Structure 1
Amino acid sequence: MLSRILLCFFLLRLAAPDEEGFLFNGFQGAHLNLDGAAEITSEGLVRLTNSTAPDKSHVFFGDPVRFKGDPGSNVYSFSSCFVFGIVPLYPGLSGHGVAFFISPSKDLHGTIGSQYMGLFNTSNNGNPSNHIFAVELDTVRNPEFGDIDDNHVGIDINSMSSFESRPVGFYANSSGRFENLSLISGGPIQVWVEYDGERMQVNVTVSPMEAAKPSVPLLSSVVNLSSVLLDRPMYVGLSSSSNTFLSSHYLMGWSFKMNGAAQALNISGLPALPRNRAAGQHPLEIWLRLAVALSALVAVASIIILVRRKIKYAELLEDWEKDYRHRRFPYKELFDATHGFDEKGLLGEGGFGRVYNGILPRSKVEVAIKRISHESSHGMKQFIAEIVSIGRLRHRHLVEFLGYCRRRGELLLVYNLMPGGSLDKLLFDHAGLTLEWKERLRIIKGVAAGLLYLHEEWEKVVIHRDVKASNVLLDSDFNGRLGDFGLARLYDHGSDPQRTQVFGTVGYLAPEMIRTRRATKATDVFAFGVFLLEVACGRRPVDPKSPEVEMVLVDWVLRCWRSERILQVVDPRMREYVAEEVETVLKLGLLCCDPLPGARPSMRQVSLFLEGLLPLPESGSSYLDPSVTALMENEALDVRFMSYSPETVSLLYVGR
């Protein structure tokens, strides 16, 4: 009987789960659920990731916790304290950090590691239906999420773009002075996450494990979690992920409490972090320990420099890529061409990556280099084969693709640089140069000729899949060239295109793409039609700042056409233009945007219309047929509505 009482007392001291909270001073026998790479070591640590391969992991308290009372009520106060440590394989080089989070489910298998830290993926990041609250301690700066640096704490609501963030550090109790703290120092760090339900205030406090809790929190922000946390029980957890720079993430102790302060951890009783073996191989330490000669020290230092250089310029090269060696650039050459991808050389940034200006060291050719993140090699072999084949395209109205480079988690595409920049900057940057009509018409005709070459005149059919003003670049003579073939697909003449994912940009997607998921010549023609209206009107396809009747460009032009006021949509910044030519372009744009694919002209017909060699049909648009309009509304195929809804925006921006 006595032994049973002592056993129960021991288990209660180790982990005290009840309806209000829990306490773990070490994790042997702890009531936890682990997934991914997470495991409990023989010393009682939770090892979230290890230094063998990039991975993600989660650790959940075994029982769900109720954070709200009646439906619609405010979130209760809660508090959590945990001690963790990041031990990098190489000093100063670490994978991503650790996040405390609250989730409606323990099933996070569809999430991505790396910069998403096992909490979200490319399609649901930022979606309010996630119902995830997190506090990230991140060791990598991800510009796509607006990260402030590579050592910060952030409050995340349904997204990796932090609601508020601060560089990691603490305010010393003795002096009140702010002290910096490195997340990848290899030492243990203690974190407090506290939510005041009445004041709706989140406080995050960080300090070295041995220090007392700072009286001033590092980060304090008013956040109403009522719409984030659900009325039903939810799960409390910690997540982590690593990337190319491998590191081990450890959890040493953890406590949590509802409506009160989390119990203090027994710091002296926590299991110790393993020794940072990589730090132990520092050249100076080796020299002191072995008392080697100066020549040996230089030799060891040289090896370390070579290792770091290899890591810095490491590439991903598989056997199947040997066939494309003539199109492959060494990463070091692209790194040197852009001065280490310096922000000063940034040409632009979009949903699929960032574009940098560079000069190739050997040839002195000025290039544009696009960096695209990717998390797996799924479909990569086919993609590289297609992009290299597209590299054989030669036309004076297409931007020349020069080659590619591949690293783990990253793809780089290299194009000839167009000194005139992208067309959309000239169309929409009202502080810059205004294009007159004759220049716009010349650009339109050039893009049409380039698209005709892709559809009918090359050895294969090339579907661009992303025709828009931002992908039209201008040479030194302001001739338009269609570029960015990162989404292009090709197939043999006379064959049918295969079903694919819905790729493209909101406002340019043809209605049938949502239903058939087949990119065809007709879907390219639809996007070209939107492009025609964009150039003639000087307006984006969707402009939320415009009056409601003018918000969707196609609708607005169509409305003015029906009321015989079509020239009212012309860009007012143009000082002079030929009315007949502008009217032809606008009507042709509507014809290309016909909701029925079969009613759209081919690109050869489009070129003939633009050159005045073929008259436009008097009235052929299905927009004027009430039965077709009703059918579109009944079947919900009208892309003007579907592609603009918040639920589909993230889907439409997913790319390779």
Structure 2
Amino acid sequence: MPLLLFLLLLFFTPLIHATAAGEFTFHGFTASNFSLNGLTQITSNGLLLLTNNTKEALGHAFYPAPINFNNSSRLGSATPSFSTTFVFAIVPQYPDVGGHGLAFAITPWKDLPGSMPSQHLGLLSDSDNGNSSNHLIAIELDTVKTIEYNDIDNNHVGIDVNSLISLNSSTVGYYKSMMGDFTKLNLMAGDALQVWINYDADNTRLDVRIAPAKTPKPAAPLVSSTVNLSHVALNEMYVGFSASTGAGSARHYVLGWSFSLDGEAQALDLSRLPSIPKKGNTKKGTSVIVIVGLALAGFSLLLILVLSILFFCHKRRKKFQEVREDWELEYGPHRIPYVELYKATKGFNETNLVGSGGFGRVYKGVMPKSRAEVAIKRISHNSKQGIREFVSEIASMSRLRHRNLVQLLGYCRRQGELLLVYDFMKNGSLDKFLFEGKEPSLSWDQRFKIIKDVAAGLLYLHEGWEQVVIHRDIKASNVLLDDNLGGKLSDFGLARLYDHGSNPKTTHIVGTLGYLAPEFSKTGKATTCTDVFAFGAFLLEVVCGRRPMEFSSGHEDVPGLVELVTEWWEKGRIVEAIDPNMNGSFNVEEAELVLKLGLLCSHPEPTTRPSMRQVAQYLGNTARMPDMPLASLGGSIRFASFDVFSNDFGASFPSTAEVTSDHQSSTPTNSH
């Protein structure tokens, strides 16, 4: 038995070396018990794989035990010096297309809650970027230039403290000598590179060096910053790695790692590190052999072939030619080539058409590389006026991330049209279930969940992102259902942005009759209050199974939905307004809450309407909705329900239904 224990210890010693607390060395990670999160996994040969080629994803890997950063035995500094070195490799899915890089991180949390992929590197999100409460120290190895974070290029090393805007950064490379003999490196070359990070607590200096693996540690640091980490580090911190992908993707590997608190990290034995999977051979010589063979077959045949290719390329280029201007370069990561959208929809074949309306036609597609299902909306933009602002907002909104928003993946401009690309929702829009008899019929529990889903998405737009997003077109046809019939707010073609605390600008009055707040036609300003008004109409149509406005085939007036619900409330039988298709199977308290909340949101006075945060609290039963005296509410709402018929509208796109004299809904006349 002692001999067996000795052999086991001898076997695992080359992989892991750990001494006192705050000091460890890994030559591969096969026997490690790291805390893994996201896509991260340990491969069969011991590589730490932070991300695979999945797009818009992240991965975390942290040493399982916290390191004591503010209780060091050394004198003169609350935070001790530390040293670390690791070997890594970034293998992009496609050459020179990064996505997005990796970072060494020191943080109070192993799972980095709320962190986002893409330009956030799995470290932070837009809402907490720059907060001193992050207590984050990171060295980023970034392969995408992000304008909003002041990145210098798409191949740099940066020192980050509580923010993704680096204190200092430099293009990747190393100095062979102190005299400044600089050699540039490429993070996306797929080669093994080694990083050395040293923090001198006495001088509050943080140095970073990088060089190819098997190259000695450079004499001079690549990037340095003077920063007192005692104001950042807590008593206990976790150390590890984070990586993310975006529109482009890559495999981010860590091969070996050594760390030491209050001392120099043990040097890595590179001969004991696992190997990076070999990149595929491209057989570059094949095309040369073909050309030589054609040349030997005869100059005339080669000339015909070349001319044919040139003619074909010219026709193809003209067919897929896009509108591309210099100012669009800053939105590059969100732009999708037209040829990919053409292939995804089989040439925009009519069999792939899934909808059409006032803003264009929508096609289902399967992206040729990722095989992801998408919805592609084609919108005419013959006028150049305002297109730059519109594309800017589309690019901004493609960065919105919430489980109850349909993800806007990107855009493309070609000739006289703009194409918007979204995630595809196979269950389609909510109005098909409410008004067109799509099976199965929605139960009360499903409807109530959809209402809460949309409320959560709208709250994020109003308060949860870096800017205020006004949707301007909330209705059942713009709510899509996922595989589990969960609600996702979609169609940001009318949305507008403005900074928190600023006043919205006057704009054209666009939207859908029945959902437009009365003050919108007077001021021309879309606000969070006008969105709440439309959400009130949405609440009533989901519960009642009727559209906010209906027109008779005769000439008699048909009361609006707000007026009908108010009349039922006056009679003391408000639940009788509920959709008869539910056959009386619903939660009475929840249904009455939603109906009254719909009326409160539809109040003609904007200051009387609740905010979306209050709406979410009422629906989640974390706050009690205030009592609403019918006498002070009903009359004004009834009058305002018809106040939206204004001649000032820049455009309107009805979402109404023609009804017979008994007021039963039929097929909608038009919706977008």
| Category of TM-score, reference length = shorter chain | 0.5 to 0.7
Out of 41, 58, 61, the position equivalent to 1:59 is: 61
- Is this contact kept in 1: 2:14–2:272, CA < 8 A? no
Q: 1:322 aligns with which of 354, 368, 371?
A: 354
Would you say 1:209 and 2:213 are equivalent positions? yes
Deviation at 1:245, TM superposition (A): 2.1
The question of 1:139 aligning with 2:139 is answered no
Shift of 1:121: 2.8
Tell me if the contact between 1:337 and 1:359 (Cα under 8 Å) persists in the aligned partners: no
TM-score (norm 1): 0.55
Q: 1:251 aligns with which of 228, 244, 254?
A: 254
Residues 493-572 of structure 1: matches in 2 within 5 Å? 493-494=561-562, 512-513=610-611, 516-517=614-615
Q: How far 1:22 moved relative to its partner?
A: 1.0
* Alignment partner of 1:157 is 2:189: no
Distance 1:359 1:246 in 2: 20
Separation in structure 2 between the aligned mates of residue 224 and residue 80 of structure 1, nearest angstrom = 18
1:81 CA displacement: 0.7
* Offset at residue 515 of structure 1 (A): 5.9
Q: Distance in 2 between matches of 1:333 and 1:175?
A: 58
The Cα shift of 1:112 comes to 2.1
Identity %: 30
**What letter matches 2:128 in structure 1?**
N
1:275 and 2:278 aligned: yes
Counterpart of 1:535?
Answer: none
Aligned residue for 1:287? 287
Aligned-partner Cα distance in 2 for 1:287–1:80: 46
Q: Which residue of 1 aligns with 2:516?
A: 462
**1:195-206 equivalence runs, <5 A:** 195-206=199-210
Distance 1:63 1:603 in 2: 63
Cα distance in 1, alignment partners of residues 253 and 513 from structure 2: 56
Q: Deviations for 1:39-60, whole angstroms, at most 9, x for unmatched residues?
A: 2222221111112554321111
Considering only aligned residues, what root-mean-square deviation do their CA atoms show, in Å? Answer: 6.0
Q: Is the 8 A contact 1:513 1:519 kept in 2?
A: no
- C-alpha deviation, 1:259, in angstroms: 0.9
Instruction: Give the match's secondary structure for 1:323.
Output: strand
Q: 2:195 aligns with which of 185, 191, 196?
A: 191
Q: What residue number does 1:16 align with?
A: 17
CA contact (8 A) 2:100 2:249 kept: no
Distance in 2 (alpha carbons) for counterparts of 1:258 and 1:148:
31
Shift of 1:96: 1.1
**Deviation digits for residues 394-429 of structure 1, max 9, x if unmatched?**
xxxx9999xx9x9xxxx9955799xxxx999xx99x
Question: 1:167 pairs with 164, 168, 171, which one?
Answer: 171
Match for 1:242 among 240, 245, 265? 245
Classify 1:382/1:95 alpha carbon distance in 2 versus 1 (closer, same or farther; 3 Å).
farther
CA deviations over 1:297-320 (Å, ceiling 9, x no partner): 999x98x99999996344598999
Question: Where in structure 1 are there 5+ consecutive unaligned residues?
Answer: 387-397, 429-442, 473-478, 501-507, 521-596, 609-656
1:146/1:497 CA distance change after superposition, 3 Å: farther
Unaligned runs of 5+ in 2: 295-301, 323-334, 363-375, 401-410, 434-453, 455-470, 481-489, 539-547, 549-560, 566-593, 599-605, 619-631, 644-672
1-side partners of 2:125 and 2:412: how far apart? 34
Counterpart CA distance in 2 for 1:70 and 1:268 is: 33
Contact persistence 2:82–2:198 (CA under 8 A): yes
Is the CA contact 1:114–1:241 (under 8 Å) kept in the aligned structure 2? Answer: yes
Residues 161 and 13 of structure 1, relative CA distance in 2, 3 Å threshold: same
Cα separation, 2, equivalents of 1:11 and 1:115: 38
For residues 120-166 of structure 1, the C-alpha deviation after alignment (integer angstroms, 9 at most, x for no partner) is 23433333322222111111122233322222222222332323322
Instruction: From the superposition, tell whether residues 249 and 142 of structure 1 become closer, same or farther in structure 2 (CA, over 3 Å).
Output: same
- For the residues of structure 2 that align with 1:198 and 1:67, how far apart are their CA atoms? 14
Q: How big is the shift at 1:101? A: 0.5
Q: Is the 8 A contact 2:118 2:244 kept in 1?
A: yes
- Displacement of 1:29 in angstroms is 1.4
Q: Report the CA distance shift for 1:381/1:514 in structure 2 as closer, same or farther (over 3 A).
A: closer
In the TM superposition, residue 347 of structure 1 has moved relative to its aligned partner by 8.9
Distance 2:380 2:615 in 1: 35
- Match of 1:91? 95
The Cα of 1:98 is off from its aligned counterpart by 0.6
Equivalent residue of 2:17, what SS? coil
Taking structure 1 as reference, are residues 14 and 349 closer, same or farther at Cα in structure 2, changes over 3 Å only?
closer
Distance in 1 (CA, whole Å) between partners of 2:320 and 2:7 is 54
Q: 2:614 corresponds to which letter in structure 1?
A: T
How far is the alpha carbon of 1:334 from its aligned partner? 9.3
Query: Normalized against structure 2, the TM-score is what?
Result: 0.54
Partner of 2:649: none
- Partner amino acid for 2:17? A
Are the aligned partners of 2:361 and 2:379 in contact in 1 as well (CA < 8 Å)?
no
- The alignment partner of 2:183 has SS state of strand
In 1, Cα distance between the equivalents of 2:155 and 2:97? Answer: 12
One-letter amino acid of the counterpart of residue 147, structure 1: D
Q: Aligned-pair distance for 1:268? A: 2.9
* Deviation of the 1:108 alpha carbon: 3.2
Contact 2:83 2:260 in 1 (8 A): yes
**Distance in 1 of aligned mates of 2:513 and 2:202:** 68
Give the conservation status (yes or no) of the 8 Å contact 1:337–1:361: no
Q: Indicate which of 126, 132, 135 corresponds to 1:128.
A: 132
1:353-396 CA-partner distances (Å, limit 9, x unpaired): 79xxx9976449xx9x9x99x9998999679999xxxxxxxxxx
Q: 1:480 to 1:604 in 2, by over 3 A?
A: same
For 1:443-500, what per-residue CA distance to the aligned partner results, in whole angstroms no more than 9, with x for missing partners?
98x98xx5xx97xxx63223699x9xxxx9xxxxxx9854699967453351668989
Provide the residue aligned with 2:629 in structure 1: none
Paired letter, 1:97: G
The equivalent of 1:39 in structure 2 is 41
Could you say what secondary structure the match of 1:184 adopts? helix
Q: Could you tell me which residue of structure 2 aligns to residue 576 of structure 1?
A: none
Residue in 1 that maps onto 2:337: 312
Q: Distance in 1 between matches of 2:48 and 2:518?
A: 48
Change (3 A) 1:383 1:115: farther
Alpha-carbon distance in structure 1 between the residues aligned to 2:608 and 2:226: 43
Is the contact between residue 35 and residue 62 of structure 2 (CA under 8 Å) also seen in structure 1? yes
- Structure 1 residue 76 displacement after superposition: 0.9
Distance in 2 separating the partners of 1:134 and 1:378? 40
Deviation of residue 38 (structure 1)? 1.6
Amino acid at match of 2:360: R
**Equivalent position of 1:29 in the other structure:** 31
1:9 Cα offset (Å): 4.3
Matched AA of 2:516: V
**Aligned counterparts of 1:9 and 1:76: Cα–Cα separation in 2:** 33
| In structure 2, distance between residues paired with 1:509 and 1:206 | 58
Distance in 1 of aligned mates of 2:639 and 2:88: 64
Q: How many equivalent pairs are there?
A: 460
How does 1:311-390 map onto structure 2 within 5 Å? Answer: 312-313=337-338, 314=340, 322-324=354-356, 327-328=360-361, 362-363=415-416
